[in-house]
Every structure is written in structure tokens, then in C-alpha cells.
Amino acid sequence: MIRLDLAPRPVRVGAAGVGIAGVLLLAGCAGGAAEGADGSASADTSSGDSGSTDAGTSSGGYADGTYTAEGAYNTPESVEQITVTLTLENDIVTAVEVTGDPQARESQQYQSQFIGGIADEVVGQNIDDLSVDRVAGSSLTSGGFNAAVEEIKAEAAA
């Protein structure tokens, strides 16, 4: 049985509002704790192509630079995809950018909420510690994000 939590949740809004069709660069200091799991539905995830730009060297296990990957996740209505770009310095996420392309109307709302809150969850964190569960009320989008992070980790370690 799949349980969807549709209760209203506070939404964090980015600097210029959150436009789902556009690209929103979210960077800054990390803050706020990740919301805990409450038994909400999880999703199968898969990832798409990944690429990197501006890779340098790091004193840690991953090369410094900016990396991009796609992550997909299933909703009851569709398969959704997001593009994640992370900037790493000494294995720490210094910037995150997430772009959505929602196929279902409800996905637009959840991707928008996710994009508005993801920087608070991951900027300033070690990439090995990243595994988001729910961000600003969006739990399924997290599956696509986590899949993209795994692709980025594989590429940055190469």
C-alpha cells in the first residue's frame, strides 16, 4: 500500500521565487535539518546521463569541480526527471542547482517545493553524507536527486 502525505507543509522560497521551468541556482550556507521519514511512499529511481565541467583536484576523495547528472523517479501519474548540478570543494557541496521538467501538474508543485528547499539541506555538507528523504514536503523528488548524486559521486571519484 502506498501512503501519500498531502498535508500542507511550509515552503521555503528562493531568492526570486521558484520557477520550475527555469534554472534556479541555489547556493549559500547550510541550515535547517532534514525532515524525518514518516512512512511516506518511496520511489524507484534511475539515473540518466551525467557530465562534468570545471573539475580540479581535491584534498579529499573527490575532485573539486562542478558536476551535473540527471535523476529520474516514479510518481503515480508519470516518470519525472530532474537535473542536478553540484559544486564540490574538498568533498563539501558549495553550491547546488536543480532544474525540473514536470510531466504532471502535481509534480510541478512538488518539484518547485523541492527546488526551493534543497540548498538548505545540502550546501555545506560532505557529499558522502548526502541522502535526502523529504525536502519542503516533497518526498518523491528526493529519489531522483539521490540517484543524480550517486552519478556525480562516481564521476567525481574517477
- How long a stretch of residues is the chain? 158
Rounded mean pLDDT for each run of 10 residues along the chain, 158 residues in total: 36 35 33 34 37 47 96 93 97 97 91 94 95 87 95 92
Residue 62 lies in a domain: yes
d(CA 60, CA 63): 8
Domain that holds residue 98: 44-157
141 found inside a domain: yes
Domains contained in the chain, number: 1
Tell me whether residue 23 is in a domain: no
Per-residue pLDDT, 134: 84
* 92 touches 124 (CB < 8 A): yes
What pLDDT is recorded for position 60? 58
Q: Using an 8 Å Cβ cutoff, are 14 and 26 in contact?
A: yes
For residue 155, the model assigns a pLDDT of 96
Query: Is the residue at 63 inside a domain?
Result: yes
13 part of a folded domain: no
Residue 64 to residue 133: CA distance in whole angstroms:
25
* Inside any domain, residue 50: yes
Question: 114 lies in a domain?
Answer: yes
pLDDT for residue 158? 67
CATH number at residue 62: 3.30.390
Domain assignment present for residue 102? The answer is: yes
